[in-house]
Amino acid sequence: MATSYKDKLRVLAGGAAAGAMALSLFAGAAQAQTRTVVGEEYTPTIWIDPDGCEHWVMDDGFEGYMDARRTRDGRPVYHRSEICGVISTDQLFATAKSFIAEGAKAELMNFFRSANAFGFLIYGHTDARASDEYNMSLSHRRVNAVAGVAQAAGVRVVDVKGFGERQPRAQGNSAAALQENRRVEIYCIP
């Protein structure tokens, strides 16, 4: 059974018509699924919360989110804080220890209760006599001990961070320079 030239053309034309119809149905379905939502235009911004903390408010096109802004060394950016106390860690801690003596604990409690601040940022620093890893760990333990006293005094602790030896106040290895670098800085948020 030989098919004629006309029969072949009819089959091709029918197939092409079916293909065109399927393509138009697919395009119509895709067009029906595509919707344009008219709404607000989102503008990324910077937001300052009641604590004075700066946050970046962003939108990646799918979901909006907020992220706390931090400096390169990891400290949050605050706009309403001031240093209200710098305490030599020699007054609070024995060498290489993170336990606060009872007398120093009572003085810290009085400081936190009388500071009349909305919240506190507490940062710890060490001298450079040990390894960086050890000093980071020691400064974290010490600053958490001071934050524990603040919380026991009933005040709000907003941020706690140990910087080890990475932010010295004084240069050199003299006894005076090393002593100045061993400190706890307390920032008050009014």
Which position has the token pair 């220890």? 97
Helices marked H in 34-131 — which ranges? 89-92, 102-114
Nearest to 163 by CA among 187, 189, 128: 128
Q: What are the tens digits of pLDDT across the range 102-148?
A: 999 999 999 999 998 888 889 999 999 999 999 999 999 999 999 99
pLDDT above 60 for 29: no
pLDDT of residue 183: 94
Residue that wins the pLDDT comparison between 164 and 2 = 164
Average pLDDT score over the chain:
78
Amino acid at residue number 6: K
Angle at 121 between CA 58 and CA 176, to 5 degrees: 130
Domain ranges (residues) in the chain: 1-36, 40-78, 82-189
Single pTM value for the model = 0.61
- Strand 157-162: give its sheet, edge to edge: 82-88, 183-189, 119-125, 157-162
- In CATH, what class is 82-189? alpha beta
pLDDT in tens, 43-98: 666 666 655 667 767 766 555 666 677 788 877 776 666 788 888 888 899 899 99
Residue located via tokens 């910077």: 46
Residue 34 above 60 pLDDT?
A: no
- Calculate the CA 11 to chain-centre distance: 67
Run of H or E including 25:
helix 5-33
Q: Distance (Å, rounded) from C-alpha 82 to C-alpha 57? A: 25
